[in-house]
Amino acid sequence: MSFIHLHTASAFSLKYGTTQPRDLVERASQLEAPALALTDRDGLLGAIRFTQACLDYGIAPIIGVNLAIDLDANRGAQQKKLPRLTIVAGSDGGWRNLVRLMSSLNLSSNLSGGAPVLTLDFLERFGQYTDNLYVLHGLDAPIAASIAAHRSDSALEIFNKTRNYFKAHAIECVSHLSKGDGPGSLTHAGRSLIFARDNDIDAVITNAVRMRGPEDGPVADILDCARQLVPLHPRHIGRTNAEAYLKSTPAMHALADEIARAGGERTARALLSTTRAWAEQTLLSPTRDIGLGSIHLPEAHVVGAENAQQMRTLLRQRSEAKINWRYSGAQAVKSARERLDDELATVATLGYESYFLTVADIADMARERGIRVSARGSGAGSLICHLLGISGVDPLAHGLLMERFCSPLRRALPDIDIDVESHRRLEIYDLVFKKYGDSRWDIPGNQSRCATVASFDTYRTRQSI
Report d(CA 323, CA 388) in Å as an integer: 10
Higher pLDDT, 433 or 205: 205
Q: Examine the pLDDT at 433 and tell me if it is beyond 90.
A: no
Is residue 159 scored above 80 in pLDDT? yes
DSSP assignments along 129-166, one per residue: G-TTEEEEE-TTSTTHHHHHTT-HHHHHHHHHTTTTSS
Strand segments, DSSP code E, in 59-200 are 60-70, 84-89, 117-119, 133-137, 168-173, 175-178, 184-185
| Lowest mean pLDDT, pick from 321-335, 376-390, 407-421 | 407-421
More confident residue, 109 or 361: 361
pLDDT value at 421 more than 60:
yes
SS3 99: helix
Query: For residue 225, what pLDDT is reported?
Result: 93
The pTM assigned to this predicted structure is: 0.85
Instruction: Identify the pLDDT of residue 76.
Output: 47
Weakest mean pLDDT among 69-73, 243-247, 358-362, 383-387: 69-73
With a CB cutoff of 8 Å and minimum separation 6, the contacts of 142 are 69, 71, 83, 85, 158, 159, 161
* C-alpha angle 50-22-18 in degrees, rounded to nearest 5: 100
Q: How confident is the model at residue 311 (pLDDT cuts 50, 70, 90)?
A: very high
Compute the mean pLDDT over every residue in the chain, rounded to the nearest whole number. Answer: 90
Among 78-92, 316-330, 379-393, which stretch is predicted with the lowest mean pLDDT? 78-92
Q: In degrees rounded to 5, what are phi and psi of residue 184?
A: 100, -15
Residue 430: pLDDT above 90? no
Residue 356 has a pLDDT of 93
Model confidence at 414, pLDDT cuts 50, 70, 90, reads confident
Res 216 pLDDT > 70:
yes
Residue 371: pLDDT over 70: yes
> How many residues are there in the chain?
465
> Which range (42-51, 172-181, 278-287, 376-385) has the least confidence?
376-385
Region of residue 377 (phi > 0: left; psi between -120 and 50: alpha; otherwise: beta)? left
Q: What pLDDT shows up at residue 445?
A: 45
Residue 50: band (very low, low, confident or very high) from pLDDT cuts 50, 70, 90:
very high
Looking at domain 21-281, which CATH architecture does it have? Alpha-Beta Barrel (3.20)
> What percent of the chain shows pLDDT beyond 70?
94
Q: How far is CA 329 from CA 317, 398, 432, 434, in A?
A: 20, 18, 38, 41
Contacts of 343 (CB under 8 A, 6+ apart): 382, 383, 384, 402, 406
Three-class DSSP category at 460: coil
Domain boundaries, the chain: 21-281, 300-436
Per-residue pLDDT at 79 exceeds 60: no
Q: Where are the beta strands (DSSP E) in 272-348?
A: none
Q: How far apart are CA 337 and CA 311, in angstroms?
A: 19
Q: Report the pLDDT value the prediction gives residue 435, as an integer from 0 to 100.
A: 84
Strands 175-178 and 184-185: parallel
pLDDT band at 295; cut points 50, 70, 90: confident
Q: What per-residue confidence (pLDDT) applies to 1?
A: 82
Amino acid 429: pLDDT = 87
Q: How far apart are CA 172 and CA 167, in angstroms?
A: 16
Does position 237 have pLDDT exceeding 80, yes or no? yes
